[in-house]
Amino acid sequence: MAGEIDVVQKCGVCNEQVGSFSVKQENMMLSSRARVWCPSCQDNTPELRELAGRVESIQREVDSLPPAGSS
Protein backbone atom coordinates (compact mmCIF):
# COMPACT_ATOMS: atom_id res chain seq x y z
CA MET A 1 0.00 0.00 0.00
CA ALA A 2 1.68 3.16 -1.19
CA GLY A 3 1.99 5.96 1.35
CA GLU A 4 1.09 3.80 4.36
CA ILE A 5 3.26 3.37 7.43
CA ASP A 6 3.11 0.51 9.95
CA VAL A 7 2.94 1.71 13.56
CA VAL A 8 3.60 -0.58 16.54
CA GLN A 9 1.71 -0.05 19.81
CA LYS A 10 3.64 -0.91 22.98
CA CYS A 11 2.92 -0.98 26.69
CA GLY A 12 4.31 2.13 28.39
CA VAL A 13 5.28 0.07 31.46
CA CYS A 14 6.92 -3.16 30.21
CA ASN A 15 7.50 -2.16 26.54
CA GLU A 16 5.75 -5.31 25.22
CA GLN A 17 4.12 -5.00 21.79
CA VAL A 18 0.34 -5.03 22.26
CA GLY A 19 -0.83 -4.17 18.75
CA SER A 20 -0.09 -2.56 15.40
CA PHE A 21 -1.87 -0.69 12.66
CA SER A 22 -1.25 0.96 9.30
CA VAL A 23 -1.92 4.61 8.66
CA LYS A 24 -1.40 7.00 5.77
CA GLN A 25 1.91 8.80 6.18
CA GLU A 26 0.27 12.23 6.18
CA ASN A 27 -2.10 11.14 9.00
CA MET A 28 0.58 9.53 11.17
CA MET A 29 0.58 10.54 14.83
CA LEU A 30 3.15 8.90 17.09
CA SER A 31 2.27 10.84 20.24
CA SER A 32 -0.67 9.46 22.16
CA ARG A 33 -2.43 9.89 25.47
CA ALA A 34 -4.38 6.67 24.96
CA ARG A 35 -4.17 3.69 27.26
CA VAL A 36 -3.94 0.11 25.99
CA TRP A 37 -4.57 -3.24 27.63
CA CYS A 38 -1.31 -5.05 28.32
CA PRO A 39 -1.65 -8.81 28.85
CA SER A 40 1.69 -8.96 30.71
CA CYS A 41 0.87 -6.15 33.14
CA GLN A 42 -2.82 -7.13 33.32
CA ASP A 43 -3.73 -3.44 33.28
CA ASN A 44 -4.54 -0.50 31.02
CA THR A 45 -1.19 1.22 30.57
CA PRO A 46 -0.01 4.29 28.67
CA GLU A 47 0.41 3.58 24.96
CA LEU A 48 3.76 4.04 23.26
CA ARG A 49 3.90 4.20 19.47
CA GLU A 50 6.87 3.73 17.18
CA LEU A 51 7.46 2.94 13.54
CA ALA A 52 7.65 -0.75 12.72
CA GLY A 53 11.26 -1.78 12.04
CA ARG A 54 12.74 1.24 13.82
CA VAL A 55 14.84 -0.74 16.32
CA GLU A 56 16.24 -3.01 13.60
CA SER A 57 17.07 0.00 11.43
CA ILE A 58 18.96 1.68 14.28
CA GLN A 59 20.91 -1.53 14.96
CA ARG A 60 21.91 -1.85 11.28
CA GLU A 61 23.13 1.77 11.35
CA VAL A 62 25.18 1.19 14.51
CA ASP A 63 26.67 -2.02 13.08
CA SER A 64 27.76 -0.17 9.93
CA LEU A 65 29.81 2.40 11.87
CA PRO A 66 33.56 1.92 12.32
CA PRO A 67 34.69 0.79 15.79
CA ALA A 68 35.09 3.55 18.38
CA GLY A 69 38.59 4.98 18.59
CA SER A 70 39.58 4.13 15.01
CA SER A 71 40.57 6.98 12.75
Q: For residue 48, is it within any domain?
A: yes
Q: For residue 71, is it within any domain?
A: no
Q: For residue 32, is it within any domain?
A: yes
| pLDDT score for 58 | 83
Residue type at 16? Answer: E
Distance CA(51)–CA(58), nearest Å, equals 12
- Range(s) of the domain holding residue 54: 4-64
Count structural domains, the chain. Answer: 1
| pLDDT score for 2 | 62
Q: For residue 47, is it within any domain?
A: yes
Q: What is the pLDDT along the chain (71 residues), one digit of tens a residue?
A: 468 989 999 999 999 999 999 999 888 888 889 999 999 999 999 999 998 888 888 888 888 988 877 65
| pLDDT score for 8 | 93
Residue 36 to residues 21, 31, 53, 65, Cα–Cα distance (Å):
14, 14, 21, 37
pTM assigned to the model: 0.71
| pLDDT score for 56 | 82
Q: For residue 69, is it within any domain?
A: no
Q: For residue 24, is it within any domain?
A: yes
